[in-house]
Amino acid sequence: MITLHGPEGVVAEGQACAARPLPAHGTWLDLDDPSETETALAEAATGLSVPSRAALSEVQNSRRLNRRRDAFYLSTPMVSFRDDDLTLRPLGFVLTPERLLTIRFQPLAAFDTVKARQAERDGPASSVETFLALNEELIDRMADTLETTSDELDSLSTRVFTFDVSANGKARPDAAGSRNFAPKRRDLALRRLLRAIGRRGKALAKLRASLLGLGRILPYVAGEAEGWLKPEEKARFESLRLDVTSLDEFETRLSETVQFLLDATLGLINMEQNNTFRVLTVVSVIGIPPTLMASVYGMNFKHMPELDWAWGYPYGLAVIAASALVPAVYFKLKGWF
């Protein structure tokens, strides 16, 4: 979809955007998942080249940040905040003193907010102001997502370090008798913790990609377009740059927390495995002495005094039972099970 916006809302949509020259009050041409026809219309109307999705997905810095005369061609990966599982798709800007072209391939709430402001006649008046407004909204939403992720990691941290399993298989604070919980429930709870931590780590990686992209775009435009930026616009660029820097540092701390929780959860899994192996080892060791006793009295020698005893059979059973009981008591006193 292709739409031309101005400070007071929508100026033209679809085929109407192909008019030459474009209305002076139409400063922002938004291409939302454009078709080839819509791309051609935008190029014909503005005289600017509209980069393809493949071009916007390039990872080289020279591809993401370049200038052709007075037009800046900018791109960055951008997360969508409407899904629980954040999606990462390219976002492109073509910025000139008169026009702003945006090329995107997913719904972005930041764009809807700026459009709503324009519909209420409170929107940005120039291409640079629109560019700044969009970036401010994008950064605000990334900040909100990072704050939410921080709260979720705090909750996960509590679950990891007070790990126990309730009747429904979820983690709960430690309680007496925790060893009586079924191993399957403990395994299920650990799996849930591991998946939850992994999802947060995946989301942070996508947010970091978006922050890095904006962190390169903002100082690049502020430096290269200094000649046609107003003093207040320069101040807003600097403020956004500082915001991105602080969010990047915050994201780094959250990523370290994710790694810490991941290591702690894997440590819990290792302890659970060690407990299982310890029980199997104790059982096998306890079973060795009675097996030996039974083997001795099962040998077919001709002269075995115990075979002629009246109480030989009970004696043999008692020896076998004692040989199993003594190591079991020893291991119990040592706290092995």
Is the pLDDT reported for residue 175 higher than 50? Answer: no
Strands (E), the chain: 2-6, 9-13, 28-32, 65-68, 71-80, 87-95, 100-104
If one compares 176 and 265, the residue with the highest pLDDT of the two is 265
CA atoms of 14 and 34, how far apart (whole Å): 10
Average pLDDT over residues 140-165: 88
- Start-to-end Cα distance in the chain: 67
Is the pLDDT reported for residue 20 higher than 80? Answer: no
**Residue 164: what pLDDT?**
60
Report the percentage of the chain scoring pLDDT > 90. Answer: 40
pTM of structure: 0.79
If one compares 289 and 180, the residue with the highest pLDDT of the two is 289
Confidence of residue 257 (pLDDT cuts 50, 70, 90): very high
Q: What is the largest CA-CA distance in the chain?
A: 119
CA atoms of 215 and 306, how far apart (whole Å): 88
**Chain-wide mean pLDDT for the chain?**
84
Q: Per-residue pLDDT tens for 22-79?
A: 776 678 899 999 889 888 888 888 888 999 999 999 988 888 899 988 899 999 999 9
Q: Per-residue pLDDT tens for 188-221?
A: 888 889 999 999 999 999 999 999 999 999 999 9
Average pLDDT over residues 75-102: 88
> Residue 293 has which token pair?
């006793």
Is the pLDDT reported for residue 301 higher than 80? Answer: no
Report the percentage of the chain scoring pLDDT > 70. Answer: 88
Could you please state the CATH topology (level 3) that the domain comprising 277-333 is classified under. Methane Monooxygenase Hydroxylase; Chain G, domain 1 (1.20.58)
> Residue 328 has which token pair?
């079991």
If one compares 154 and 166, the residue with the highest pLDDT of the two is 154
Out of 5-9, 141-145, 245-249, 292-296, pick the least confident: 5-9
Average pLDDT over residues 118-135: 85
Is the pLDDT reported for residue 93 higher than 90? Answer: yes
**Residue 165: what pLDDT?**
46
User: To which residue do tokens 């003093």 refer?
Assistant: 231
Please calculate the CA angle 48-51-52 and round it to the nearest 5 degrees: 145
Average pLDDT over residues 129-148: 94
Q: Which residues contact 7 (CB under 8 A, 6 or more apart)?
A: 25, 27, 118, 121, 123, 124, 125
**Residue 134: what pLDDT?**
94
